[in-house]
Amino acid sequence: MALTIDDLFASPDHYLHSFDGDAAIFVPMDRAAYHRSIFLDGRIAPAGEGEMRLPIGALPAAPPAPKRTGWIFHIAHCGSTLLARALDRPEANLVLREPLALRQAAVSRHERLIALATSTISKRYDPALPTIVKANVPVNFLLPELAAQDPQAPAILLYLGLDDYLAAILRSDNHRAWLRNVTGQLVAHLGDTSTLSDPERAALLWLAQLRAFASTLDLMPNARSLDAELFFADPTPLLAAAATCLGVPMMADDAAAITRGPLFSTYSKNPTVAFDNDARLARKAELARSIGTELIAAHDWIARNGGDAADVIAKLEGRALL
C-alpha cells in the first residue's frame, strides 16, 4: 500500500526528524528504535535505511492538532536525559528525547515549522498513553506557544540552582562551546552576548530560562518544578512522582528497581561509562575549587541584572513536584 501524507501524521513509524531548507526529512522508526535512540538529533538510531525528503510546501498548511503531550522542559545538563530514560519503558509511553525538528522550529520561530513539529511529535503507539517529549534549551523560549496549544498538558520544569548550574555548564571546553553556541542562537531572547564572559553568559541563560519556567506556571496548571539536585540525591520517590505527573504507568517498586539499576550507575548519555551521584558530587566539588573566581563573576552579574532571581526560585519551589 502506498504511503500517504495522512500516514505521516498518524503513525510514529514515520518520524519527522528535521528540516533542511525547504525540505522536511522523515526517517523510519519503530518502538525499539525510539527506545534505543538516546537523542533524536544526529545521534538517532532509526529502524532502517532510507530517509524520505518532502517539500515542506507539500505538507498540510494546517497539520492535525497535536494530541495531549507530556513535557520535560529543562535548562540543560541537569539530569533530564536520566529522567527521560528512566521514564522510557518499552511497554509504556513513547518517550522522545530532544527532537531536532522541534528545536529547529523553536530557533526559527516559523509558525509553519512549529505547527508541523508539534503535530508530529505528539503521535503515539498506544492511544491511551500520551507521548512524553524531553525538549531542549531553545524550546524553553517557545513555552507560551506550547502552553497555548494545550494549557492542561502535564509538564516537569527541571532546573538547578545557580552554582550547580555553573558547575555543570563551565566544566569543560566542550560545554563552554555549547554555551556560546546556544546563547548566540538565542539573540532574539537574550540579546547580544558577545561581550559577556562565559560565567556571565551562563548566569544570563540560567536566569532567562528560570524566568520562562516561572511564567509557565501561570499558563500551565499541571506543570510542576523539579530541582535536579533533589532528584539526584533521592531519585526513587521523585521518579515515581514524575511518572504520575506525566501519565506514565509506574508502581513504586518499579521506580525503586529502575533507580537501583544500571541506568543510575552509568552516564545517561553514554551507558558504557560508569557514573553515579557520588561521582557527580566529587566532580562538582573539584570544579567549585577550579572555577571559584568565575562563580563570583556570575553572582556579580545576577546581582546587577537579576533582582527578581530569588522571587523566581521561590515561585518554582511553590509548585514543586514533591
Please compute the mean of the pLDDT values over residues 227-236 and round it to a whole number: 98
Beta carbons of 195 and 204 less than 8 angstroms apart: no
pLDDT at residue 2, rounded to an integer: 76
Please compute the mean of the pLDDT values over residues 240-262 and round it to a whole number: 97
Task: Walk me through the domains of the chain, giving residue ranges and CATH numbers.
Answer: 5-317 (3.40.50)
Please compute the mean of the pLDDT values over residues 279-303 and round it to a whole number: 96
Among 188, 192, 201, 163, residue whose Cα is nearest residue 289: 163
Please compute the mean of the pLDDT values over residues 220-232 and round it to a whole number: 98
CB neighbours of 302 closer than 8 A, spacing ≥ 6?
162, 203, 207, 309
Q: What is the 3-state secondary structure (H, E, C) of 55-66?
A: EHHHCCCCCCCC
pLDDT at residue 1, rounded to an integer: 62
For residue 14, how many C-alpha atoms fall within 13 Å in the half-sphere facing its CB?
16
User: Which DSSP helix (H) or strand (E) runs through 271?
Assistant: strand 270-274
Q: What pLDDT band is residue 312 in, cutting at 50, 70 and 90?
A: very high
Query: Model confidence over 13-35: pLDDT tens digits?
Result: 999 999 999 999 999 999 999 99
pLDDT at residue 15, rounded to an integer: 98
Among 234, 284, 227, residue whose Cα is nearest residue 259: 234
Q: Is 96 helix (H, G, I), strand (E, B) or coil?
A: strand
115 has a pLDDT exceeding 70: yes
**Residue 250 falls in which region: left (phi positive, over 0), alpha (psi -120 to 50) or beta:** beta
Query: Model confidence over 144-166: pLDDT tens digits?
Result: 999 999 999 999 999 999 999 99
